[in-house]
């Protein structure tokens, strides 16, 4: 009789089994178009975080010549006049860059060591970011000096001035002369100027902060509310489900666009109000999706085992059930970000979005004029293309994620 004993394998496995999210990521980023969209959105996020260092009318550094009885002084106007929000976003951007460096440099480590290093580094960087952001918000006072350093440099009042790549602020106006109003693209203003003599390229870059801020902040609020309501209604059912679904139906009956118009009419134009309203009224779809997923998995063996082991409720919900039921919600969040960007651009286009002179792609489209009368193409081309590409990128990534988590498409990608 043949010996069917399986010989022992002394050599260790060369490849560790890939986790579920590893397979999802591999399938998600397989199409070249999705990789291009992801890179575009990553660049847009970096621009939104670091835009004060890219487009600003204040120099990084300059030297004030010696006056009578005084020595020459080196100043740092741009860094001195950053607002608290600017500093907090710069800290967040630095934290993301640091975590990205850790992820990139840890790729050659074995999987256990790599995961441990990434978790420890994430905890340390997140803690430092929260502490630094809190201290900046509590202790930093905005100066926002409006000194015209460019004019000083032109008249020799300062020397050794180093300006950002785009040496114009989003609200900085050229002198109101005929040649600098609605100016065509030139070597001085690469995308031209608007009706107030403001640089279009600078406003385009600063508008990325509004678009990304509205998209991410509103969806974080919506996800938090949707996950809490959907998890509770889907896990408990019964009275929780009835009350939760009636709440969902009431919120769905509120028109988001007109609610924002009402708040603007009463309290004025504040971008934070727009973010909160979009988030508070946009969570219902996430709650419905998560409720359906929790109904499906709440009686599966691993959930019953977690309940039987005496785990606390929050751990059963958010440690065991949520990771296995959140994938449809993430897909919907991608479409939700595209919708939030569209809503903000529409409000600003109608003149009820952000408060002027804050730059927004929608308000830039509005200032381009009416094609039936006076239309300035250079003022509409940039914001129009960015709105279109940004919404398209979010939609394409969301569709690719939907296909990546769909087991029926496993063999077609």
Quick: pLDDT tens for 267-299: 888 888 889 999 999 999 999 999 988 888 888
What is the Cα–Cα distance from 26 to 31, expressed in whole angstroms? Answer: 10
Q: How does residue 120 score in pLDDT terms, banded at 50, 70 and 90?
A: very high
- Crossing angle of the two packed helices 200-236 and 284-297, in degrees rounded to 10: 40
What lies within 8 Å, CB to CB, of 362 at 6+ separation is 344, 345, 346, 347, 348, 349, 350, 353, 383, 387
Any domain includes 263: yes
Edge-to-edge strand ranges of the sheet holding 159-162: 73-75, 61-64, 159-162
pTM: 0.86
Any domain includes 70: no
What is the Cα–Cα distance from 211 to 205, expressed in whole angstroms? Answer: 10
Q: What angle do CA 284, 287, 291 make, to 5 degrees?
A: 145
What pLDDT does 14 receive?
46
What is the Cα–Cα distance from 146 to 198, expressed in whole angstroms? Answer: 15
What lies within 8 Å, CB to CB, of 401 at 6+ separation is 24, 28, 327, 330, 331, 334
Any domain includes 8: no
The DSSP call for residue 317 is: I
What is the Cα–Cα distance from 241 to 376, expressed in whole angstroms? Answer: 54
Q: How does residue 35 score in pLDDT terms, banded at 50, 70 and 90?
A: very high
pLDDT at residue 225 above 90? yes
Any domain includes 291: yes
Q: Is 156 left (phi over 0), alpha (psi -120 to 50) or beta?
A: left
What pLDDT does 70 receive?
63
**Residue that is written with structure tokens 């785009």 in the block:** 166
Any domain includes 370: yes
What is the Cα–Cα distance from 202 to 171, expressed in whole angstroms? Answer: 9
Q: Domain range spanning residue 203?
A: 31-55+188-407
Any domain includes 140: no
* Three-class SS of 150-219: HHHHHCCCCEEEECCCECCCCCCECCCCHHHCCCCCCCCCCCCECCCCEEHHHHHHHHHHHHHHHHHHHH
pLDDT digits (tens, 9 = 90+) for 87-109: 999 999 999 999 989 888 888 88
Any domain includes 153: no
How many structural domains does the chain have? 1
Any domain includes 133: no
Q: What is the CATH number of the domain that holds 361?
A: 1.10.3720.10
Point out which residues pair with 198 in neighbouring strands. Answer: 173
**Residue that is written with structure tokens 């340390």 in the block:** 124
pLDDT digits (tens, 9 = 90+) for 296-328: 888 888 888 888 888 888 888 888 888 888 888
Task: Report phi then psi at 350, rounded to 5.
Answer: -80, -5
Q: How does residue 39 score in pLDDT terms, banded at 50, 70 and 90?
A: very high
Least confident window among 162-171, 322-331, 388-397: 322-331
CA dihedral 78, 345, 268, 198 (to 10 degrees): 40
């Amino acid at each position: 009789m043949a010996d069917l004993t399986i010989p022992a394998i002394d050599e260790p496995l060369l490849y560790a089994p890939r986790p579920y999210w590893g397979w999802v990521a591999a399938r998600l980023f397989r199409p070249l178009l999705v990789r291009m969209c992801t890179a575009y959105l990553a660049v847009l996020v970096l621009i939104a975080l670091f835009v004060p260092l890219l487009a600003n009318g204040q120099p990084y550094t300059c030297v004030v010549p010696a006056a009578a009885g005084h020595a020459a002084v080196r100043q740092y106007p741009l860094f001195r006049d950053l607002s608290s929000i600017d500093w907090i976003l710069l800290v967040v951007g630095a934290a993301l860059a640091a975590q990205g460096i850790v992820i990139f440099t840890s790729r050659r480590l074995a999987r256990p060591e790599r995961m441990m290093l990434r978790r420890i580094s994430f905890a340390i960087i997140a803690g430092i970011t929260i502490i630094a952001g809190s201290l900046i918000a509590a202790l930093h006072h905005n100066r926002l000096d409006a000194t015209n350093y460019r004019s000083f440099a032109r008249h020799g009042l300062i020397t050794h001035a180093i300006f950002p790549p785009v040496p114009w602020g989003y609200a900085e106006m050229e002198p109101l002369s005929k040649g600098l109003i609605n100016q065509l693209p030139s070597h001085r203003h690469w995308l031209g100027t608007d009706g107030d003599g403001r640089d279009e390229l600078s406003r385009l870059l600063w508008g990325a902060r509004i678009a990304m801020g509205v998209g991410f902040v509103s969806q974080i609020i919506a996800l938090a509310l949707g996950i809490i309501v959907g998890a509770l209604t889907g896990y408990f059912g019964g009275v929780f489900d009835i009350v939760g679904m009636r709440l969902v139906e009431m919120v769905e009956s509120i028109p988001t666009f007109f609610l924002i118009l009402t708040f603007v009419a009463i309290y004025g134009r504040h971008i934070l109000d727009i973010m909160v309203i979009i988030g508070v009224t946009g969570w219902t779809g996430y709650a419905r999706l998560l409720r359906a997923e929790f109904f499906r998995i709440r009686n599966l063996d691993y959930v019953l085992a977690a309940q039987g082991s005496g785990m606390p409720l929050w751990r059963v919900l958010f440690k065991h059930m949520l990771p296995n039921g959140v994938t449809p919600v993430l897909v919907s969040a991608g479409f939700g970000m595209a919708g939030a960007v569209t809503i903000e651009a529409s409000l600003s286009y109608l003149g009820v979005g952000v408060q002027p002179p804050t730059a927004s792609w929608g308000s830039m489209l509005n200032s381009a004029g009416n094609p039936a009368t006076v239309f300035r193409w250079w003022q509409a081309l940039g914001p129009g293309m960015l709105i279109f590409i940004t919404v398209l990128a979010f939609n394409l990534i969301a569709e690719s994620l939907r296909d990546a988590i769909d087991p029926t498409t496993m063999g077609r990608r």
